[in-house]
Amino acid sequence: MDVARYYPAGPATKAAYRLDREDDMDIGRGRRGIIVLAAFAAAACASSGVNKGDFNLVSYQEEWQLGAQLEQDIARQMPLVRDATLVNYVSRIGQRIVSQTELAQAPWEFHVVSDNQVNAFNIPGGHVYVNTGLICANDNVAELAGVMAHEISHGVSRHATEQLSKAYGANILVGLALGANPPIYQQLLAQIIAGGTFARFSRDAENESDRLGVLYMYNAGYDPVGMVTMFQELISRRKSRPSSVENFFSSHPITEDRIEEVRIQIQQLPPKPNLILRDGEFENMQRRVGC
Ligand SMILES: [Zn+2]
């Protein structure tokens, strides 16, 4: 496995993580999770205000274990794209954005779902899924990066496990008891498989993900205007072809107000030369998808 791919920014603990990752081949996910998560959870708390004071009963370690199990079950039940060139392209965009976040040291993974619906979603534990329908609906890489930055921000902010904590309280850890086939886990999985969605996020969670997403993509070098034009595209598709964006809107209600707030935030960012709108590869990827 190409471990360097996960760490484009080269954080301080990269070397330590790489050892754990190699270890993982022999000793399984459990120990790797404990060592790695202890390191990045500490970094995440120290570096910013993200997640400070938010109610969450699920530890980083439990969240990443949950994500690993969901990933396996999703891979069995959703039509994932196996084209390594395409998946690597999407992963490179994702890792470039992740490198600017508070969870840069965590093992994130990016997946492409063969589905014409315009959708993307985040599940706990650093997994982001992008539908082929989204890639086809984007005009340029900045639009794809905009949606991905928004999903990554849900993950960094831990909105999914916060919502589970609020919904199930102290029962959540029993309800997710991994490997025991508990009902809460099965319900979550079924929801993801059926709808390409984890949850309906609150307006606050959406605003936080927009705000962080703009910053992360801008810091990663992508033109944040891509987020605005993609949101506009989603709204216009909702009018012309509502079924094609139904799942996206069910988990992330986009409104003109939200777009306006993003636009205002972008205007306040310092000018930055060479922000990426087009990258010379994106159209080739659309051809690979067969858009
Ligand atoms: Zn959202």
Rounded distance from Cα 196 to ligand 1 centre (Å): 13
Rounded distance from Cα 191 to ligand 1 centre (Å): 16
What is the rounded average pLDDT for all residues in the chain? 83
pLDDT for 18: 32
Rounded distance from Cα 138 to ligand 1 centre (Å): 17
Cα–Cα distance, 113 to 117 (Å, whole number): 10
Rounded distance from Cα 23 to ligand 1 centre (Å): 35
- Provide mean pLDDT across the span 200-209: 90
The residue type at 125: G
In the chain, DSSP finds a helix count (H) and a strand count (E) of 14, 3
Digit-coded pLDDT (tens) for 228-244:
999 999 999 999 999 89
Count CB atoms within 10 A of the CB of residue 101.
27
Angle at 72 between CA 105 and CA 146, to 5 degrees: 50
Q: What is this structure's pTM?
A: 0.84
Residue with tokens 């599940």: 123
- The residue among 172 and 127 whose pLDDT is bigger is 127
Digit-coded pLDDT (tens) for 82-131:
999 999 999 999 999 999 999 999 999 999 999 999 999 999 999 999 99
- The residue among 62 and 138 whose pLDDT is bigger is 138
Please check whether residue 247 is in contact with residue 116, taking contact to mean a CB–CB distance below 8 angstroms: no
Cα–Cα distance, 49 to 138 (Å, whole number): 32
Backbone angles phi, psi at 126, to 5 degrees: 75, 30
